[in-house]
Amino acid sequence: MKFLKSLGKNLWILLAILVVLALVNRWYLGGFTKIEVKEQPMGPYTIAYVHFVGEYGKVWPSMTKVYDILSGAWITSLTGVWIYYDDPAVVSWAKLRSDVGAVIAVQDVHTLIKNKDIQTKTFPAGNKMIVEFPMKNTLSIMIGVMKVYPVITKYMKEKWYKAVPMTELYDSAAKKIYYIADIAVK
């Protein structure tokens, strides 16, 4: 009987420790971050990218391809970018369109012109809707998606803004994810 009491007590302690660790982990990954949509100027950025059609969760190989091409051209980027053109609640997952790539220096564009596997374009400067979210690791990306998109969608509806392409900027140096949308009235 004494053994069972001890075991029960130890299980409760273990459960309490696991709950505390889960809460600390969620806090660390940004799970308790207050989501605030700001309207402010941002850009311009020069982007090297590949076009991807398919489920948004499967863009990683395309991102790897972009960074392999940049690395082969001796171009460094600490900022990844994903531009999502379609709403997965409306468009079939197999037909979702996105551009996946990295922010590069303007002078690096001429190095990539000859490469047919990658394209470049300018993300224009302008007043944008922006949400900042901490980037600790891949789990931060998933938590950010779950927390940010409902808030920014609600914000767009309240302001009568059109659902426009969403851009996610992954700034490794600042350790932040920026969720960005142009301001376009319906």
Give per-residue pLDDT as tens, 153-165. Answer: 999 999 998 877 9
**Nearest-CA neighbor of 118 among 145, 90, 99?**
99
Mean pLDDT throughout 49-76? Answer: 92
Instruction: Please give the pLDDT value at position 102.
Output: 96
CB 86 within 8 A of CB 97: yes
Radius of gyration of the CA atoms of the chain, in A: 21
Which residues have a Cβ under 8 Å from the Cβ of 149 and sit 6 or more positions away?
166, 179
How far apart CA 176 and CA 161 sit, in angstroms, is 25
Three-state DSSP class for residue 183: coil
Q: Say which residue, 139 or 49, is predicted with more confidence.
A: 49
Secondary structure (3-state) at 6: helix
What pLDDT does residue 34 have?
Answer: 83
| 87 pLDDT above the threshold of 80 | yes
Count of alpha carbons within 13 angstroms of residue 10, beta-carbon side? 6
